[in-house]
Structure formats: structure tokens, C-alpha cells
Amino acid sequence: MQKKDIKNFTLNELQEEVKNLGVEKYRATQLFNLLYKKGIEDFRDMLSLPTSFRGLLQRYFYISKVRLVNLAKSKDQTEKYLFKLEDGNLIESVLIFSGKRVTECISSQIGCKYNCLFCESGKKGFTRNLTVSEILNQVLFVKKKIESNLNNIVFMGIGEPLDNYDNVVKAICILNFKDAFNIGARKITISTCGVIPAIKRLQEHNWQVELSVSLHAPENKLRSYLMPVNNIYPLPDLIEACKNYAEKTKRQITFEYILIKGMNGSLIYADKLAKLIGGFNSKINLITFNPAPNSLLQAPGISQVKSFKNKLATRGIPATIRISKGDDISAACGQLKSLHLK
Ligand code: SF4
């Protein structure tokens, strides 16, 4: 009999599992507390549970872990973790400190199907989705290691989270649950390249999770060049889906726009972008491209980034400039894994 990874279950599912073992359902909440709040990694150490229940847990379940392979620390305090999973695959998480805000950027897949021009993760193709436990273990590991309060989670690491919809949604439920990680829904961000069917599914949830959509170009031709996913879900359809999402959920959508030198940063594009997203509840996050070693693409100068932002402002579009962190430790998605594999 194959043991089950206990961190793959939501609370409802775990209640069913323990009920099937003849144990009261409330023990599932107790287990959540021991696994996620206390971070206990061995059923034998769960001394607040009856001995007979601990025995059943050992017989039918196991507690998975990730193994740290590399930890890179930037001079700006950003930390990048390279983890090995139980099957030997590698994933990355990045920890970013900004005042009291401590954000972990986590992975949702091994590789990615979408092959964006500027992204290291997409270059190696797709291997598989992460399980719920593999998503949570990234957070558990970091939470145990750092002394500060980890209070923000962004799904912006390796992979397209909405392509691993069910596991990501389950992981978010556990991250948000008060007897588990207790991270507010508004402190959790899903970042997508624009998988329209999943955006439509997501808007049916009655929750406050933030949605961030990667645009990177305000017209179809350029966006398809930078992000081949645009051939499947073209820009006009994506914007329509985002408008519906914002209306239905009453939440503001953040559009991510990576500025790449000589590619998408002219003021004409700023004008087109303003026209495209004007008129609904959204804002723009401008990001200066963080080139990987040997990348043919380059970052623009800060003056170009500021001019782009000012142009958006004159058109009434709120925009912020996200300062790229961890440049010295290959902190952009997929870069550390690439270096390690080389
Ligand atoms: S940017 Fe995101 S969607 Fe695009 S290839 Fe990288 S991980 Fe995939």
C-alpha cells in the first residue's frame, strides 16, 4: 500500500480521510495546526494526538519535505532558494524583504509550457505540475528558517499557476486557513500570463486573492513575439476577460509590464497601453528587465522607465515602478536553476 502525502489534502479532504480511519473529524484541524503552524515533520512528535491516531497516521500517510540545494543572498537582502523535490526535480523560491513586508515568490510547476522570450523557465519546456504539498513545502521551509513574519505570497516563480489550477487553489485555501498558515487572501497574488478559461473559473470564487496579469506589450503582434501564449489567448480577448473579472469580483487587477530595451518601451507603446486598459479597475506595474547571464535582451535605462510611467500618468493610468531585486543572485524566474544545471 502506498502512503499518501498528508499535505496534499485541504481541510475538508483531510476530515474525510480521518473519518475513514474511524477518527473524529476535528482531529483534522488539530493536524493542520501541527503540520503548518508548528511545522512538525514527524507524526511521532505530535504528542498532543492520541497514540492510536499517531499509529494510523504513520501507517497510511507520510510528511513530505523539500531539500535545500542552494541559497543565494543578495546585497539587497533578497534570498533565492533552490530546492530539490523527492523525485530529484529542482524548483526555486525567492524571498524579498521590503520594510515590514516579507514576500515569498513561489513556483507552481516544474518548467513551463509557454516559453516567453524573456524567461529562463520557459526555455526548458514543461515537466509536470507541482503537487499541493510541493507548493506548500516551499513556504513551510522558508517560514521555519526566517525570524520575520512571512506575510505575502506571490505565485510568480517557475510555472504558470493557472495551468495548475486545482493544486494552486487548494494550496491557497491552506495558506489562507487560520489554523494553517493564516496568510490573508489579499496578501496572496496569482500571476498569470493570461490563461483566459482559468481567469473565468477564478472569478467564480468568492475570495479576495489578488490577480496579476502579465501584458508586456499593448498590441497582438509584439505580444505574440514576446509571449507565444498570445497566439492562443489574444490580447483583445484577454482584456475582455480581465474587465469581466474586475467587474465581477470588484477587485483591482494589476497588469505587469516588463520593459525590455529596444523592444516595448517607446512612448507610442505607453499610449497604446493606456488606451487598451483605460476605463476599468486596474493599475500597471512596470518592471525593468533583469537579464540572465548570456541573455541577448537588455534592461532599459531608468530614465526610459520613468518616461514610460509619466506618459501613462498623463493618460490617467496609475503605474508603479517595481525595483528589480536580487540582480546579483540571478533572482528572476528560472535563472538560479539554469545556473545550477550548467
Ligand atoms: S514568464 Fe511565466 S508563463 Fe512565461 S515562460 Fe516564464 S514561467 Fe512560463
92 annotated active-site: yes
Instruction: Report the separation in Å between the CA atom of 158 and the middle of ligand 1, taken as the mean of its atom positions.
Output: 7
Q: Among the options 105, 119, 193, 333, which is catalytic?
A: 333
C-alpha 296/C-alpha 294 separation (Å) is 6
Q: Is the CB of 122 under 6 A from ligand 1?
A: yes
Q: Which ligand 1 atom is the nearest neighbour of the CA of 159? A: 7
C-alpha 93/C-alpha 83 separation (Å) is 8
pLDDT for residue 324 is more than 70: no
Q: Is the CB of 155 under 6 A from ligand 1?
A: no
Which residue type occupies 235?
L
The mean per-residue pLDDT over the stretch 161-179 comes to 97
Find how far residue 340's CA is from the centre of its chain: 21
Torsion over CA: 118, 121, 122, 123 (sign)? positive
Could you tell me which CATH number the domain at 67-341 has? 3.20.20.70
Going by pLDDT thresholds of 50, 70 and 90, the confidence category of residue 342 is very low
Task: Give the pLDDT confidence score for residue 245 in this predicted structure.
Answer: 94
What residue ranges in 50-130 does DSSP mark as E strands? 61-62, 67-73, 79-84, 90-98, 101-105, 109-111, 126-129
pTM of the entire predicted model: 0.94
Q: Is the CB of 161 under 6 A from ligand 1?
A: no
C-alpha 328/C-alpha 321 separation (Å) is 19
Instruction: Report the separation in Å between the CA atom of 192 and the middle of ligand 1, taken as the mean of its atom positions.
Output: 8
Beta bridge partners of residue 154, listed in sequence order? 105, 189
Pick from 124, 191, 193 the residue to mutate for probing ligand 1's pocket: most ligand atoms within 8 Å of its CB.
193
Task: Give the pLDDT confidence score for residue 334 in this predicted structure.
Answer: 56
Alpha carbon of 134 to those of 20, 43, 142, 310: distances in Å?
A: 25, 19, 13, 41
Instruction: Report the separation in Å between the CA atom of 120 and the middle of ligand 1, taken as the mean of its atom positions.
Output: 8
Q: Which ligand 1 atom is the nearest neighbour of the CA of 158? A: 7
Q: Is the CB of 94 under 6 A from ligand 1?
A: no
* Nearest in space to 188 (alpha carbons), one of 156, 144, 148, 159: 156
The mean per-residue pLDDT over the stretch 115-134 comes to 92
The mean per-residue pLDDT over the stretch 27-47 comes to 97
The mean per-residue pLDDT over the stretch 310-328 comes to 86
Alpha carbon of 11 to those of 66, 109, 161, 244: distances in Å?
A: 22, 23, 21, 31
Helices (H) and strands (E) in the chain, counts: 12, 14
Contact of 39 with 45, CB cutoff 8 Å = no
pLDDT for residue 329 is more than 70: no
Terminal C-alpha separation, the chain: 38
Going by pLDDT thresholds of 50, 70 and 90, the confidence category of residue 341 is very low
Q: Is the CB of 121 under 6 A from ligand 1?
A: yes
Q: Is the CB of 119 under 6 A from ligand 1?
A: yes
The residue whose grid cell reads 520594510 is 99
C-alpha 246/C-alpha 277 separation (Å) is 12
Chain segment 264-291, per-residue pLDDT in tens: 999 999 999 999 998 888 999 999 998 8
User: In the chain, what percentage of residues exceed pLDDT 90?
Assistant: 85
**φ, ψ at 193 (rounded to 5°):** -85, 0
Q: Is the CB of 157 under 6 A from ligand 1?
A: no
Task: Give the pLDDT confidence score for residue 337 in this predicted structure.
Answer: 55
C-alpha 268/C-alpha 55 separation (Å) is 66
User: In the chain, what percentage of residues exceed pLDDT 70?
Assistant: 94
Locate the domains of the chain by residue range: 4-62, 67-341
Q: Is the CB of 34 under 6 A from ligand 1?
A: no
Instruction: Report the separation in Å between the CA atom of 97 and the middle of ligand 1, taken as the mean of its atom positions.
Output: 23
Contact of 190 with 199, CB cutoff 8 Å = no
Q: How do the residues of the chain divide into helix, strand and coil, expressed in percent and rounded to 5?
A: 40, 20, 40
Query: Hey, how many other C-beta atoms are within 10 angstroms of the C-beta on 25?
Result: 14
Longest dimension (CA), the chain: 69
Q: Is the CB of 253 under 6 A from ligand 1?
A: no
- Judging by DSSP bridges, how do beta strands 79-84 and 90-98 pair with one another? antiparallel
pLDDT for residue 336 is more than 80: no
Q: Among the options 92, 104, 120, 134, which is catalytic?
A: 92
pLDDT for residue 260 is more than 80: yes
Instruction: Report the separation in Å between the CA atom of 252 and the middle of ligand 1, taken as the mean of its atom positions.
Output: 22
Alpha carbon of 300 to those of 193, 258, 260: distances in Å?
A: 22, 10, 6
Instruction: Report the separation in Å between the CA atom of 225 and the middle of ligand 1, taken as the mean of its atom positions.
Output: 13
CATH fold for the domain made of 4-62 = DNA polymerase; domain 1 (1.10.150)
Chain segment 176-231, per-residue pLDDT in tens: 999 999 999 999 999 999 999 999 999 998 789 999 999 999 999 999 999 999 99
Instruction: Report the separation in Å between the CA atom of 105 and the middle of ligand 1, taken as the mean of its atom positions.
Output: 14
Pick the residue whose CA is nearest to atom 7 on ligand 1: 159
Q: Is the CB of 335 under 6 A from ligand 1?
A: no
**φ, ψ at 74 (rounded to 5°):** -85, 160
What residue ranges in 208-335 does DSSP mark as E strands? 210-214, 253-259, 282-288, 319-322
**DSSP sequence for 124-143:** T-EEEEPPHHHHHHHHHHHH
Chain segment 54-86, per-residue pLDDT in tens: 999 999 999 999 999 999 999 988 999 999 999
Task: Give the pLDDT confidence score for residue 339 in this predicted structure.
Answer: 52
